[in-house]
Amino acid sequence: MQSFWESTQHQWKTPIRKQQEYDTKLNLYYTSLLFKLGKKMSLRQQVIASSLVYFKRFFSRNTFTEVDPLLVLVTCFYVACKMEECPQHIKACCNEAKAVIGSQFTYAASDVAEFEFYLLEELDFCTILFHPYKPYLKYCQFLQVNTAVLQTGWYIINDIYRTDACLLYPPYIIAIAALYLSVNINEKEIHNLPEIKEFFKTLNIDFVQVVEIIQMVFNLYAEWKDFSPEQIPAILSKIR
């Protein structure tokens, strides 16, 4: 998995955005819309995760001033549904997007269908993705963690997708970071804590990457406290 990830992901490992001053708030806004859209359509988390990776990959090469992120967002979601074998009718995606986003989403199904080809070209047609969820579950099963640890780590992985970690680190490292953070949060409820700590010590990985991911999560939560969707129109008016 690692070699495949390295061979297909290397071109995305340096996110480039010209609007860095407002990037975190815009990122929170658009990723939240994707989460809401996926939840409204009752789709698996992996569909949302894939759409988020496509969205971030696209805007590692483009800016929010060049293309309407809402069109990109819905197109990424539509493509992710097909790639994750949860196909949805393009009209259904557009209708649900209008319900979630509101009057700001003015595009028809034909617009999304047309933009799909441009999106795939920008992604270099690399649409097969690996996610941290499967290795995370395997680690949890191996360590026999309790439900609290398992669920907390799962939520942390979901939040990690709001950051650029999914472009910068392989899935198994993200899974380890989520598990490590979850164990520390729930350590008072863990009966086999010494064995789990020993597990982390024996891992043959670059733990600096784990720390970097955890720091990205902390930075995300810190920014989240002061974030409100009402801030977005003013930000968009400034960068455009």
Report the distance separating Cα 110 and Cα 19, nearest Å.
Answer: 29
- Looking at 41-50, 56-65, 141-150, 180-189, which range is the least confident one? 56-65
- Report the pLDDT value the prediction gives residue 5, as an integer from 0 to 100: 53
Average pLDDT score over residue span 211-221: 95
3-state secondary structure (DSSP) of residue 13: coil
Helices H, strands E: what count in the chain? Answer: 13, 0
Segment 203-212, tens digit of pLDDT: 999 999 999 9
- Report the pLDDT value the prediction gives residue 226, as an integer from 0 to 100: 84
Segment 1-32, tens digit of pLDDT: 455 555 455 555 555 454 455 677 888 999 99
Average pLDDT score over residue span 130-135: 95
Average pLDDT score over residue span 117-121: 96
Q: What are the tokens at 28?
A: 């929170």
pLDDT beyond 50 at 240: yes
Q: Are 148 and 186 in contact (CB under 8 A)?
A: yes
Q: Are 25 and 50 in contact (CB under 8 A)?
A: no
Report the distance separating Cα 192 and Cα 67, nearest Å.
Answer: 50
- Report the pLDDT value the prediction gives residue 43, as an integer from 0 to 100: 93
Give the chain's largest Cα–Cα span: 57
- Report the pLDDT value the prediction gives residue 18, as an integer from 0 to 100: 46
Report the distance separating Cα 154 and Cα 137, nearest Å.
Answer: 9
- Looking at 5-9, 163-167, 202-206, 223-227, which range is the least confident one? 5-9
Percent over 90 (pLDDT), the chain: 73
33: Cβ contacts below 8 Å, ≥ 6 apart: 70, 73, 100, 101
Q: Are 44 and 86 in contact (CB under 8 A)?
A: yes
Q: Are 84 and 44 in contact (CB under 8 A)?
A: yes
- Looking at 21-35, 42-56, 159-173, 208-222, which range is the least confident one? 21-35
Average pLDDT score over residue span 166-173: 94
Q: Model confidence at 183, in pLDDT bands (50, 70, 90)? A: very high
Report the distance separating Cα 173 and Cα 191, nearest Å.
Answer: 24
Segment 54-97, tens digit of pLDDT: 999 999 888 888 899 999 999 999 999 999 999 899 999 999 99
- Report the pLDDT value the prediction gives residue 66, as an integer from 0 to 100: 85
